[in-house]
A and B are shown apart, each in its own frame.
Chain A
Amino acid sequence: MLEKTGIATREQIEKLLPSPGRRAEGPYAVMECFQKIPCNPCSTSCAFHAILPMDDINDIPSVTPDKCTGCGACAAVCPGLAIFIIDESKGGGTGTVTLPYEFRPLPGIGETVKAVNRAGEVVGDAVVTRVLPGKKTKTPLVTIEVPLSLVHEVRFIRCEAHQEEDPSVADTLREIPAPPQTADIGEQDDEVVICRCEGVTLREIRDLIREGYTTVDEIKRISRAGMGPCQARTCGPLIAAEIARMTGEPLGSVAPSAHRAPVKPLPIEFFLGGDTE
């Protein structure tokens, strides 16, 4: 599920594809943009008016496949790097995928790279057939040749250099057993630092709330939390949240402590240059 994993489903992808006839004719853009977000560079960048103008900037881009030439202009400008140019017309059982690739090093033409799917899994090898360095956009477009069966799967590549330094992280996660300790902040609250400046822990804060100090100011006065150099920038909201949690008060009714000048620590000598008017 896209909203949970970041991976679009097969059904979502299939809906984007042009008719089989159009697919056989030549390259076309696939816009893997499924969410209404305020963004329209794809439609304004298309010289062929193949992407419908957006009345509402939040519209999901809509491609007219017959107007699309597969030029890739939209893929180079898409801020979400969500546009891919697919070409299934070459014959010989292979097709090409043109994808945005903002990583270093850029692969060279003819280089064999790992073909990677939407989940980050290697699904085969691919040969780089074209590299547009994207001097202006700084979004290089890399075209790779893959078996036709993979043109709707492969969305990323991994070059040799990357493979060595980045083992499959998902695998690592599976290999590590659960730790023996049970995890519950409730029992470890003396290791949770709320006020970094004054070194006040969550346990101290919780003890004070239990004693009846239920405002940020009271806790500050007794514990010094928030009196340090950062003036509660980091801990203030955490203390308010803990008060709200323990008392059941809405967070909005837990008043923050007053803000005073200066907003950053300044030496006494700093002010000696001023003259009173």
Chain B
Amino acid sequence: MNLPKSASVVIVGGGISGCAIAWNLANRGVKDIVVLEKDTLANGSTGRCGAGIRMQWGAEKNCRLAQFSVNFFENANDILAYERDIEFEQSGYLIIAANEAEAQQFRKNVALQNSLGIPSVFLSPEEATAIVPYINATQFVAATFCQKDGHLNPFHTTDAFAIAAERLGVRIFKHTEVTGIEVKNNRIESVDTTGGRIATHIVVNAAGGWSKAIGKMAGVDVPVYVQRHQILVTEPLEPILGPMVMGFSYNIYIQQVPHGSIIMGRSDHTEPRDFRTTSGWKFIEEMTKTCGTLLPYLRTAKILRQWAGHYCMTEDAQPIYGPVPEVEGMYLACGFSGHGFMLAPATAELISEMILGEPLTIDVSDLDIGRFKRRELVREQSVV
């Protein structure tokens, strides 16, 4: 398959965001969309992430974005006519508060969430054990729970978007790396790739950790940095965990996927800002310590593998959405800071609306690239 000479939109990055945006645009009738992926689909952060989705956020915007995505995922197998299964399991998120201060914040969060129609509840440790019977209730002072939260199979979900997009005429080129972007008179003219040149006036930069490099090709400084993030997975077990268990102070998220494996991850803010995806032994030690304390009954579950991916971070740990003032035609969908997977349906909707000049379903104008220069950072405490 040869690259077309031109395209209406070139999407850089074959992760969940790129594939979802491609499908969304095509679904709105846009023709001649090209997706460029330097490796294989979901090979970057998407395929390495925990693939959870929660509506329990502390900032209204994040709640709304997640809410949109949950609604989409609930029907995604049908909407995308996917023959396999995206494995959206709404087994809920149980988020634990390690101390009173955190519990106070959670009370506010639940009030906000409920006001938006998100069915979360505030729980005592005892009430939490009714949901996750084997959790060590001495380790937290309160918890919140939302049954509608859950997790998906990130490979199948990306696959579903990609297949649906291709069905609508989108052309996805794997193993095709972007090597340059031609800008004339502050306007994008073409994209150079290892497979040739494509003339286009619109480039969506959904390149995850590589979005900074893609931006630079067009002379745009995308204020993101990359940090390694590690996860481990156990052998498959019969269903024993129920909801995703998450703790911000505890620095853990842990879930059992429908197949039976238990996946858990944590963050390490001392990680150097680089592209390493090698594994580290300290991670396993820290991770197993937390898991052993919080969910001691899992101590005999056997770890099969640890792996690493990137968080594409911004200063305020919020995504960058939308056009770039200095270069006409470049749209950013990056800097998700670990939440790109769960936000993808909303991301796709919003970026499509921006490209087509339609009113935004959710106002994300404050998540533009300009906020960093303006020093109008968005605050969200509820992150791992």
Is B156 close to A, CB under 8 A? Answer: yes
Whether the pair B259, A269 counts as a contact (CB closer than 8 A) is no
Q: Counting CB contacts under 8 A, is A222 at the interface? A: yes
Q: Looking at the complex, which one of A222, A265, A274 makes contact with B84 (CB distance below 8 Å)?
A: A222
Q: Contacts of A275 on B, CB cut-off 8 Å?
A: 285
In whole angstroms, what is the CA distance A266 to B285 when docked?
12
CA distance A268 to B301 in the complex (A): 6
Interface size on A, residues (CB 8 A): 25
B259/A224 in contact, CB under 8 A: yes
Q: Which residues of A contact B181 (CB under 8 A)?
A: none
Interface membership of chain B positions 278-289, coded 1 if the CB is closer than 8 angstroms to chain A and 0 otherwise: 010110111011
Q: What distance in Å separates the Cβ of A158 from its nearest Cβ neighbour in chain B?
A: 50
Establish whether residues B156 and A222, one from each chain, have CB atoms under 8 Å apart when the complex forms: yes
Find out whether the CB atom of B303 lies under 8 angstroms from the CB atom of A267: yes
A268 touching B300 by the CB < 8 A rule?
yes
Find the A residue at minimum CB distance from B296.
A269
Is residue A228 contacting chain B, with contact meaning CB distance below 8 A?
Answer: yes
Q: Does B216 sit within 8 A of A, measured CB to CB? A: no
Task: A260 to B279: give the CA distance in the assembly, Å.
Answer: 7
Q: Which of B43, B236, B302 contacts A266 (CB 8 A)?
A: B302
Of A217, A222, A271, which one neighbours B159 at CB under 8 angstroms? A222
Q: Are A221 and B155 in contact (CB under 8 A)?
A: yes
**In the complex, what's the smallest C-beta–C-beta distance from B294 to chain A, in angstroms?**
11
Residues of B within 8 A of A93 (CB): none
State the majority secondary structure of interface residues on A.
loop
* B214-243 CB contacts (< 8 Å) to partner A: 233-236
Q: Does A231 reach chain B (CB closer than 8 Å)?
A: yes
Q: Are B259 and A266 in contact (CB under 8 A)?
A: no
In the bound complex, residues from chain A placing their C-beta under 8 Å from that of B284 are 261, 271
**Any A CB within 8 A of the CB of B291:** yes
Contacting residues, chain A, for B146 (C-beta < 8 A): none
Whether B299 contacts A272 by the Cβ 8 Å rule is yes
Looking at the complex, which of B95-103, B183-191, B304-312, B332-340 is the stretch in contact with chain A?
A: B304-312
Is B291 a contact of A265 with CB atoms below 8 Å?
A: no
Q: How far is the CA of A265 from the CA of B305 in the complex (A)?
A: 8
Interface status of B369 (Cβ within 8 A of chain A): no
Would you call A268 and B304 a contact (CB within 8 A)? no
Contact: A231 with B305, CB < 8 Å?
A: yes
Once the chains are docked, how many angstroms separate the CA of A31 from the CA of B235? Answer: 55
A262 located at the interface, meaning its Cβ lies under 8 Å from any Cβ of chain B in the complex: yes
Report Cα–Cα, A203/B282, bound state, in Å: 40
Q: In whole angstroms, how far apart are the Cα atoms of A193 and B344 in the complex?
A: 36
Give chain A nearest CB distance to B275 CB in angstroms. 15
Chain B contacts for A217, CB-based, 8 A: 40, 43
Within A253-277, which residues are at the interface with B (CB < 8 Å)? 258, 260-262, 265-272, 274-276
Q: How far is the CA of A274 from the CA of B348 in the complex (A)?
A: 44
Inter-subunit contact B305/A271 (CB<8 Å): no
Query: Does B292 lie within 8 Å of A268, measured CB to CB?
Result: yes
Q: Does A215 contact B (CB under 8 A)?
A: yes
Which residues in chain B, 35-53, are within 8 Å of chain A measured between CB atoms?
A: 40-43, 47
B155 and A268 within 8 A (CB) = no
A218 in contact (CB, < 8 A)? yes
Contacting residue for B300 out of A260, A262, A267, CB 8 A:
A267
Residues of A within 8 A of B301 (CB): 267-268
Identify which of B155, B279, B289, B302 contacts A267 (C-beta below 8 A): B302
CB of B324 within 8 Å of the partner chain: no
Q: Which B residues are in CB contact (< 8 Å) with A227?
A: 233, 261, 304-305
Complex: A260 Cα to B280 Cα, angstroms: 10
- Complex Cα gap A106–B300 (Å): 51
CB distance from A216 to the nearest CB of B (A): 10
- Known contacts A222-B156, A224-B259, A260 near B303 by CB under 8 Å: no
A266 to B235, CA, bound (A): 9
* B213 CB-CB contact with A under 8 Å: no
CB of A79 within 8 Å of the partner chain: no
Contact across chains for B155 and A222 when beta carbons are under 8 A apart: yes
Query: Across the interface, do B299 and A229 meet the contact criterion of CB distance under 8 Å?
Result: no
Partner of A260, one of B282, B292, B305: B305
Q: List B contacts of A270 (CB < 8 A).
A: 288
Q: How far is the CA of A274 from the CA of B233 in the complex (A)?
A: 19
Q: Which residues from chain A contact B285 at a C-beta distance below 8 Å?
A: 271, 274-276
Q: Is the pair B291, A268 in contact by a Cβ cutoff of 8 Å?
A: yes
Given contacts A222-B84, A266-B302, contact A215 B40 (CB under 8 A): yes
State which residues 228-270 of B face A: CB under 8 Å: 233-236, 259, 261
Q: Which residues does chain A contribute within 8 Å of B261, judged by CB atoms? A: 227
Residue ID in chain A nearest B233 by CB atoms: A227
Question: How distant is the Cα of A271 from the Cα of B282 in the complex, in angstroms?
Answer: 10
A222-B156, A265-B303, A271-B285 known, 11 other contacts, Cβ within 8 Å: A217-B40, A227-B304, A227-B305, A228-B235, A229-B304, A268-B300, A268-B301, A269-B288, A271-B288, A271-B289, A274-B281
In the assembled complex, 28 residue pairs joining A and B whose CB atoms fall closer than 8 Å, in A order, are A215-B40, A221-B42, A221-B47, A228-B236, A229-B235, A229-B302, A231-B304, A231-B305, A260-B279, A260-B306, A261-B306, A267-B299, A267-B303, A268-B298, A268-B300, A269-B288, A269-B292, A269-B299, A270-B288, A271-B285, A271-B288, A271-B289, A271-B303, A272-B288, A274-B281, A274-B285, A276-B282, A276-B286
Interface residues of chain A, those whose CB is within 8 Å of chain B, are 215, 217-218, 221-222, 224, 227-229, 231, 258, 260-262, 265-272, 274-276
Chain B residues in the interface with A (C-beta under 8 A): 40-43, 47, 84, 155-156, 159, 233-236, 259, 261, 279, 281-282, 284-286, 288-289, 291-292, 298-307
The 4 closest A-B pairs by CB, nearest first: A221-B155, A265-B302, A269-B299, A271-B288
